Amino acid sequence: MSHFEAANLIRVFDFYLTVMFLLSFARRYPVYWETARLLVALRGRWPRLVQRLKQHHGALVTAEVLRPLAVAFALTVVQMVCSRLIYPQAQLAVQEVEASWWRMLIVLVAMIPMIAVDAYFLIRVGQFNRLETEKYMDQAEHWLRSWHAPAIRAVTFGYINPRRIVDEEVKKSLDQLGQTVSWAAWWVSVQVACRVAFGLSIWLLWAFG
């Protein structure tokens, strides 16, 4: 029996989840780093804008966004706990799967979509331009802080209200960002579903095999 045929698919899945997490983090590290730098500077550099953002934070942070992320993390933890602590004796060798066509079919049907979706996530990574974002935030903070805003409002008899315009733009930007995040969360849900399907397939094959 070769090393490949003797490989335990349950432990391989442990390794796969860990590697995919590390690769995904490495691919998105620049985005995370630039976002973190912006968040650190947020309160000290744009205090008035922060107050506006607090009024509309619900447009971005929703259960729809947080749920798939929590499930993805929980899946990894459950897989590790089951394979290392609860059922350390669990073993489903590649040779066992290859010996039965229906087992091979079950594993392949679950594995191919999982790898395809994970590969898509590794290839397609969003971009974040921190400098451009800071420029727009500086402009918004200026209008919220400067005496020009109330002066323009007074001169135009309230027809032009720069601070209201800034507030509307903040809400609009957060709504658009919320839609983008929701779309990303939907794809994370698909990713999690594929991993759950593969995990269940190998665990059930071991349990009832």
Burial class (CB in 10 A: 0-12, 13-18, 19+), 202: buried
Nearest to 185, CA basis, from 72, 76, 88: 72
For 69, residues 6+ apart whose C-beta sits below 8 A from its C-beta are 185, 188
Q: What is the pLDDT of residue 202?
A: 94
What does the pLDDT look like over 23-42, one tens digit per residue? 888 888 887 787 777 777 77
Rounded distance, CA 53 to CA 47, Å? 10
* For range 93-110, the mean pLDDT: 92
pTM for the model? 0.74
Given a contact cutoff of 8 angstroms between Cβ atoms, the answer to whether 173 and 181 are in contact is no
